[in-house]
Structure 1
Amino acid sequence: MGIRSAQPRTAERCRVLIVDDHPIVRRGLGQLIDRESDMELIGEADSPSSALDAVEALSPHVVVADLSFEGLDGIELIKDLRARHPGLPVLVLSMHDESFYAQRVLKAGAMGYLMKQEGVEQVVDGIRSVREGRVFLSNRMSQALLSRMTGGSNRPPTYGVESLTDRELEVLRLIGQGRSTRQIAEQLHLSIKTIETHRENIKQKLRLENASQLMQYAVRFAIEPT
């Protein structure tokens, strides 16, 4: 679909760009945004590549982005946006468990994280907050992060998916989607040897003994990463 330009922009309103590969989600979010007197939908994008083009063309104040796209990684989109437009706030709105992903997207450069099950008020509050330069999370996630921060530095090392790098996490997700090492290498524009190294690192960190266990774990993770 690419980019769709929407209403005329005004200086007073917060200009919002939606990035999501589901048309129904984009439509619902657009209607929600356009109901608010202090914000307007200026455009939509259905992929990370079209999102980058849309930001250049439409100059939004805030990007509201999903985290998962067909064969692509929303975390890489956040990193690209931060590198190209360091002052542009991104609010992630995703179906994935915030307890796992929120800290990762904040580290990547986003200003907020909400799950799609949150209420309408949370979404519009999140847009306003990140526009004003404030980090926005759900109350439960804010409390969880505070608990982690006050837990001291003597916690035991983390094993499991939380110990994976963003790239290893992306490789794990693609393995779970049934892609071969060669396909993953082509999709991520990396060498086969690099992907094989990532696979070995993943097995070691997840304490998996062989490729079969890795595949079983990856499939479960692709269905519901928790």
Structure 2
Amino acid sequence: MSGQIKFLVVDDHPVFRQGLVALIESNRQYRVGAEAGSLPEALTALEKEVPDIALIDISLLQQNGLDLVKQLKASHPDVPALIISMHDEAVYAARALKAGARGYVMKQEAASVMLDAIQTVLAGRIYVSSAIRDRLLERMFSQRDESEMLPVERLSDRELEVLELIGQGYGATEIARVLTLSVKTVNAYRDHVKEKLGIESAGELRRFAVNWVRSRDS
């Protein structure tokens, strides 16, 4: 890859996005050609200039960044996507890779880790943390706990986000603020989760979510 490497940075938090742009452009070989805070803005940017790599957050206003990854893979299969997200990699890394991303790194990681992830993806390799790599390999070669995983795997990406936040102790209003959704929309997602998991009450859902988060992290 000759010349400067062009980036598309997609994140709906302006302060974090500005910091990420500054980190990227600390390398003279890198240039951020476009920034976007939503899926439509990202698609418009792609129409104007095709980047060499896209850095994408999962939560994009009322849309999911993994939908953008899928569209990017369909329209520009040679452009790798790296997910940079606040959401637990243990939950979303495999989903991101399945959607077509080439890597997953959490926002709280050090700048050096993010730059290493970028370099790894640009080199044509997949980037995940060593812990997630071990989990993915174990999952490939073991059927342990598959029956327990299937109900949660029926959830959409956004429904899974809501379940995770419930399990972390967030209420509907807090989840709405974190995901930039209305409380009504969060409640609708919560109802979908209950239906898919065969759970009747909000209290039972909260207990399930808490136990799921604890067992996942253990």
Comparing 89-98 and 115-124, the one that deviates more = 115-124
Kindly state the Cα deviation for residue 38 of structure 1 after the two structures are TM-superposed.
Answer: 2.3
Tell me if 1:91 matches 2:82: yes
Number of aligned pairs? Answer: 197
Deviations 1:127-175 (A, max 9, x none): 222222211111222122222223x2364412477322426726957x8
Q: TM-score, normalised by structure 1?
A: 0.73
Structure 2: 5+ residue stretches without partners: 164-171, 177-182, 211-215
In the TM superposition, what are the counterparts of 1:70-81 in structure 2 within 5 Å? 70-81=61-72
Tell me if 1:124 matches 2:129: no
Measured in 1, the distance between the counterparts of 2:117 and 2:33 equals 17
Tell me if 1:13 matches 2:1: no
- Secondary structure at the aligned position of 1:35 is classed as coil
Mapped contact 1:14–1:38 kept (Cα < 8 A): yes
Mapped contact 1:90–1:111 kept (Cα < 8 A): yes
Kindly state the Cα deviation for residue 217 of structure 1 after the two structures are TM-superposed.
Answer: 7.2
Q: 1:166 aligns with which of 156, 159, 167?
A: 156
Structure 1: 5+ residue stretches without partners: 1-9, 185-194
Kindly state the Cα deviation for residue 218 of structure 1 after the two structures are TM-superposed.
Answer: 10
In the TM superposition, what are the counterparts of 1:5-154 in structure 2 within 5 Å? 11-150=2-141, 152-153=142-143
Aligned to 1:157: 147
Q: TM-score, normalised by structure 2?
A: 0.76
RMSD after superposition: 3.3
Percent identity between the aligned chains? 32
Mapped contact 1:161–1:169 kept (Cα < 8 A): no
- Secondary structure at the aligned position of 1:105 is classed as helix
- Secondary structure at the aligned position of 1:80 is classed as helix
Deviations 1:180-208 (A, max 9, x none): 59x96xxxxxxxxxx89x82xx3354341
Kindly state the Cα deviation for residue 31 of structure 1 after the two structures are TM-superposed.
Answer: 0.9
Higher helix share: 2
The 1:99–1:179 alpha-carbon spacing in structure 2 relative to 1, beyond 3 Å, is same
Aligned to 2:184: 179
Measured in 2, the distance between the counterparts of 1:168 and 1:25 equals 21
- Secondary structure at the aligned position of 1:162 is classed as helix
Mapped contact 1:92–1:110 kept (Cα < 8 A): yes
Aligned to 1:3: none
Mapped contact 1:67–1:93 kept (Cα < 8 A): yes
The 1:171–1:111 alpha-carbon spacing in structure 2 relative to 1, beyond 3 Å, is closer
- Secondary structure at the aligned position of 1:42 is classed as strand
